[in-house]
Chain A
């Protein structure tokens, strides 16, 4: 029979750090965080249940769409969630943020990762 799980190429990019981007092949039954761990790539995480946002990534493009002028690519097209993404508010979900601990890919895509992405979610309200 062979492996029936569909796989997608997911490219991880660190916006702030001097780190090389990495592309990993991820099955539809695997989350990005699990696949990264399998490939020995350290991504930040905390709860692993979709509550804390520590693992937040930002979808940069999906299936080749979404870069530059084309607006924010739709997370719902690119990923299926295992459980509800509680740590993300509607405004975050609409602007491409994705919880990598519970998100399994449905397309080839590129995602910004690393702790600086999580820090974008909320600003200092007094500043």
Chain B
């Protein structure tokens, strides 16, 4: 049970495992369990907010949203960090440090790295003052293009204070993509991997204790930027592979082709437990969720474990795919949550046995078929998209914008009305979700005009960014 205290020592050793975190020097939590137990309720959210592609003459911004029910400004955007340029398309972002660096003395979870997906501009925001973050540094696109990379996507910190960003294209917006590394002064260090390891890129996640990283595939920027075109599917311009990397070497060890059932594998998540080699990826276009794991021979394998059926719509020509665009795993690794953006669902599956996910609950809200089409009289113009879960797994939040040009195609009203952020109360014991109709954050009311809202992060770590060494 406990470490036996050495008789005569002045300081007794901590008795329980979860107390060991008191020794850690750096940012974050010592274990996923510590994040659940010690993490406070989320009182603020940072949300990517954008005007790119519209006729609103304003730059994209980072919204600071008040999530404290005790606060007078609950459900309001209480601060907006406006960026210096237009045309960025803020999309995904991350912290300079997470729980993977909890051993690094002197490192703080303080800077948000906020890339522009379309502009390839990378912003560094100092969030030392959690309610009033400030723009600190901007890396201009030309500096990024020098490494023959563009279209920055997923930001994770490397456990020693550096930052790694998946890049979806070359300097011309064509293939191949790669990875860009920033040093802890937020300068470009160079390319992380030897060029040529992969063609397509999208999201990635790493499990340092297993020396593995996994990356997924969207398409060349020039393919997905203008909108979704079936011609590109026919021509094989969209991704369907997963790459398993040697994390130390930065080289691909194994590639798994998910085939027809695994078209456009987007968000990819390992379980939080650092020992685990299990994870999940959502194949958006095929509307499937794959489980992947390392087998006894040391090879990774992937298998389809969830399949969302197309649905007929009386006014549409073809059956409508669900388009599961985001997934996440609860901090206790018990549930997989996701959003079906076209159908209009959020769902949770019990993944206690990751090879056999068991449907726990779902909510039909927004989208093409949602049972709930308005909240507090506010019409929902699109389906649930980017999701984020509280550390304790009891509150699920989501926004509704996918990508400005894809929004225009599937939910043209989204641009006119703006996005919303909604919330469900989750009961992890029963495995149920309930829409909280008292909660609504409306980007339709932004001073410059309706804005879109995309990825969500908490100030002190969340289920889609924290990794443990």
Contact = CB atoms under 8 A, between A and B. Distances in A.
Interface stretch (B181-189, B274-282, B298-306, B314-322): B314-322
Chain A interface SS verdict (over half): loop
B161 interface: no
B356 interface: no
A82 to B, nearest CB: 12
Interface residues of B, number: 43
Interface in B107-134: 118-120
Contacts of A115: 53-55, 408, 415
Interface string A36-65: 000000101111111111101000000000
A124 B406 CA distance: 9
A89 B71 CA distance: 51
B225 interface: yes
A124 B414 CA distance: 14
Interface string B47-72: 00000111101000000000000000
A46 B408 CA distance: 15
B10 interface: no
Contact of A119 (B87, B141, B317, B409): B409
Contacts of A119: 227, 405, 408-409, 412
B410 interface: yes
Chain B interface SS verdict (over half): loop
A100 to B, nearest CB: 12
B409 A53 contact: no
Interface stretch (B168-176, B241-249, B392-400): B168-176
A6 B295 CA distance: 67
Contacts of A123: 409
Contact of B55 (A42, A50, A51, A52): A42
A62 B150 CA distance: 34
Interface in A76-122: 83-84, 86-89, 114-115, 118-119, 121-122
Interface in A1-17: 14, 17
Given A47-B173, A51-B169, A115-B415, A87 B409 contact: no
> Which 5 residue pairs across A and B have the least CB separation, nearest first?
A51-B173, A46-B118, A53-B226, A42-B57, A52-B225
8 contacts: A50-B172, A51-B173, A52-B118, A54-B52, A56-B226, A83-B172, A87-B222, A126-B320
Given A42-B55, A119-B405, A125-B229, 14 more contacts: A44-B55, A44-B87, A46-B88, A46-B89, A47-B221, A50-B173, A54-B87, A115-B55, A118-B405, A119-B412, A122-B409, A124-B410, A125-B318, A126-B318
